[in-house]
A = this chain, B = another copy of it.
Amino acid sequence: MQGVDWLINLIFIILTYLPHLNSIFSVDCVIFAFDEGELKILLIERNQDPYKDWFALPGNMVNNDESIDAAAERVLYELTGLKDIYMEQFHTFGELNRHPKGRIITVAYFAMIRLNSAKDVRPVIPYAKNASWVSIKELPELGFDHKMIFEKGFERVKSKISYQPLAFELLPEKFTLTQLQNLYELILNKKLDKRNFRKKILAYDILKELDEKQKGVSYRAAKLYKFDRRKYSKYFQNELSFSKD
């Protein structure tokens, strides 16, 4: 039994580090979209314990060879098929009891996207049974602390949208001012004055008026606009600069 001494030593060394074994981290994504007049987020139905068969935010472990940002991108793709979504990190959740399997902290991201081709979402790995868009007004119970994560993410969106024109991200490329206003009202949860809204949004000078009109409506068709990213970034630079004076 002499020859196994080194083995036993090795095990001791490993055991020393073992407490770290359950110290790992995950990412979770809160993806917003605007569909059928409602704000929706992307949920998966889990196919794995813990919380097998529960609804949850798309999220999974970060690999050891990728940055957190990259992990968020990968995980979102694997669980929903969505690619090339710009997500922004908004908070890291690390309560001790948040994950039944032990000490797992999660870095949460949010994004706001346009729902055209993204409407059909489907997991590409069996970790999730399926993925779907769910109205934030009718959210089912969610696994883990995902309800809280969603809420914090939604708070962030609300506060961000009031000083940055983010809402365009959610609309189809061409939209009417009324659609844009409806979206703002939905997110901010208050009525806005039509004339003042138009005055203000046009004053930002980040919209391009198109020579096109709405189609398929049984009333006077509204003009279509599109978001002018070039003007937007100019406006944005000014916003951020503290240099003047």
Contacts and interface: CB of A to CB of B under 8 A. Distances in A.
Contact of A64 (B65, B95, B103): B103
Nearest to A90: B91
Copies of this chain, whole number: 2
B68 A105 contact: yes
Contacts of A105: 25, 68, 107
Contacts of A203: none
A245 B4 contact: no
B65 A94 contact: no
A137 interface: no
A66 to B, nearest CB: 7
B66 A96 contact: yes
Contacts of A21: 17, 20-21
- Secondary structure at the A interface, as helix, strand, loop or mixed, is mixed
Interface string A18-34: 11111111000000000
A209 interface: no
Contacts of A94: 62, 67-69, 107
Interface residues of A, number: 41
A191 interface: yes
Contacts of A24: 20, 23
Contact of A20 (B64, B66, B245): B64
A148 interface: no
Contact of A242 (B1, B22, B65, B189): B189
A27 to B, nearest CB: 9
A92 interface: yes
29 contacts: A4-B4, A4-B7, A7-B7, A7-B8, A7-B11, A11-B11, A11-B14, A14-B14, A19-B64, A20-B21, A20-B23, A21-B21, A22-B64, A23-B23, A23-B24, A23-B64, A62-B94, A65-B96, A66-B96, A67-B94, A67-B95, A67-B96, A68-B105, A69-B94, A89-B91, A89-B92, A188-B242, A190-B242, A191-B245
Interface of A: 1, 3-4, 7-8, 10-11, 14, 17-25, 62, 64-69, 89, 91-92, 94-96, 103, 105, 107, 158, 188-191, 242, 244-245
8 A-B pairs with the lowest CB-CB distances in the bound complex, closest first: A68-B94, A92-B92, A190-B245, A23-B24, A4-B4, A92-B107, A64-B103, A67-B95
